[in-house]
């Protein structure tokens, strides 16, 4: 349960604020009346009068009217009853724990995806992570062995940083599907989430590792982990960069071999689903489908508390009014 607090100010009686529109008219009438009340004397020249001092009382007499206008404005705002509102939200999130299990073997450099399989898989996984802010997500990579690149975390920025560091060659080459799945399930073993999911993506056939894929499948079933499997690769052959003796690489067509029967069995027996991705677009659609099938349930309960804050405004208006009266009948000694 998360608590989110939003505070802002509202007015209980906002129509009183319309009275503030009278202030410009008040200022206009005040200036016009002052001009009418001034005495005029015709003289042949004002040259000698320019040096006459002007009383500071004359200069600052307008302060009285400014104070009176401030009193008026504060009283109008106080009548509008400003209130602070504290909105308390109780967010109950039925989160899903997800491990992305990514094949980074050498064959993932094949360029039937753009720019290649592994970079396409990383880009789609990043987008998937960004659209699931309420779930804990982790990352397991595997080739000839398996490694936890990032444990389950809600810090998705850190997770994406770890995902971006992934590249082919980090681990001994090969395809250890059993080790990858078993490592992913191990990361979910202690999870208390209502739904535990592994998204396993590979482009090959299990040919290495210490744990047989069937054993990993039984472990997943034991701990109630649902596995979505994705076979990555076009049908037939795919261009693969092969190192050349003189340096550099050359693209050569290599046969695409995916153990679809194994991936289908893992998905079916764990309650997941198997998908075949033959390009960037189909891979994005697959992740979108998984995103729709594994929706996180969120319940939000809102409570709003109101507190009046007009009293300080009324006090300030009273103080300014007292100050205006005091100055009028003492320092400036004028009458309305």
Average of pLDDT values for 76-102? Answer: 80
Q: Which domains does the chain have, with CATH numbers?
A: 11-32+54-87+307-331 (no CATH), 97-297 (3.40.50.410)
Query: pLDDT tens, 264-275?
Result: 999 999 999 999
Residue 333 has pLDDT above 80, yes or no: no
Report CA torsion sign: 57, 63, 67, 69.
positive
Is the per-residue pLDDT at 1 higher than 50?
no
Other CB atoms closer than 10 Å to residue 143's CB: what's the count?
A: 27
- Closest to 205 measured CA to CA, from 238, 168, 234, 178: 178
Q: Across residues 216-221, what is the average pLDDT? A: 97
pLDDT of residue 265: 98
Residue 242 contacts by C-beta under 8 Å, 6 or more apart in sequence?
249, 250, 251, 252
What average pLDDT does range 139-156 have in this prediction?
Answer: 96
Report, as an integer, the average pLDDT of 92-99: 79
Q: What's the pLDDT tens digit per position in 58-67?
A: 666 778 888 8
Task: At 122, give phi and psi (nearest 5°).
Answer: -65, -40
CA distance 137 to 308: 44
Look at residue 335 in the predicted model and tell me its pLDDT: 47
Predicted confidence band at 34 (pLDDT cuts at 50, 70, 90)?
A: confident
Residue 9 has what pLDDT?
A: 81
- Please give the structure tokens belonging to residue 154: 């809600």
Res 245: pLDDT:
85
Res 303 pLDDT > 90: no
Between 276 and 36, whose confidence is greater? 276
The pLDDT confidence band at residue 306, using thresholds 50, 70 and 90, is confident
Cα maximum dimension of the chain:
115
Cα(220)–Cα(267) distance, integer angstroms: 10
The per-residue pLDDT for 310 is: 83
């Amino acid at each position: 349960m998360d608590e989110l607090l939003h505070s802002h100010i509202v007015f209980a009686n906002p129509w009183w604020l319309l009275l503030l529109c009278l202030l410009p008219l008040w200022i206009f009438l005040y200036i016009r009346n002052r001009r009418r009340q001034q005495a005029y004397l015709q003289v042949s020249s004002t040259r000698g009068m320019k040096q006459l001092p002007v009383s500071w009382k004359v200069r600052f007499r307008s302060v009285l009217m400014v104070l009176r206008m401030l009193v008026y404005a504060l009283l109008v705002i106080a009548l509008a009853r400003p209130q602070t509102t504290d909105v308390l939200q109780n967010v109950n999130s039925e989160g899903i724990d997800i491990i992305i299990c990514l094949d980074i073997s050498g064959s993932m450099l094949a360029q039937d995806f753009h720019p290649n399989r592994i970079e396409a898989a990383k880009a789609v996984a990043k987008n998937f992570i960004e659209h699931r802010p309420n779930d804990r997500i982790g990352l397991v990579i595997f080739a000839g062995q398996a490694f936890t690149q990032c444990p389950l975390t809600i810090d998705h920025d850190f997770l994406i940083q770890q995902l971006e560091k992934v590249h082919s060659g980090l681990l001994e080459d090969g395809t250890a599907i059993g080790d990858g799945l078993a490592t992913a399930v191990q990361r979910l073993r202690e999870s208390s989430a209502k739904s535990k999911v592994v998204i396993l993506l590979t482009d090959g056939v299990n040919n290495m590792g210490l744990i047989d894929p069937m054993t990993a499948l039984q472990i997943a079933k034991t701990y109630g982990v649902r596995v979505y499997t994705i076979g990555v690769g076009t049908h037939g052959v795919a261009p693969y960069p092969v190192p050349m003796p003189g340096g550099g690489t050359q693209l050569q067509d290599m046969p695409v071999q995916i153990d679809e029967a194994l991936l289908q069995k893992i998905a079916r027996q764990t309650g997941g689903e198997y998908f075949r991705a033959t390009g960037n677009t189909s891979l994005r659609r697959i992740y979108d489908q998984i995103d729709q099938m594994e929706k996180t349930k969120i319940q939000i309960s809102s409570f709003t508390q109101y507190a009046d804050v007009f009293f300080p405004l009324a006090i300030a208006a009273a103080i300014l009014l007292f100050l205006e009266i005091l100055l009028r009948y003492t320092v400036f000694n004028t009458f309305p």
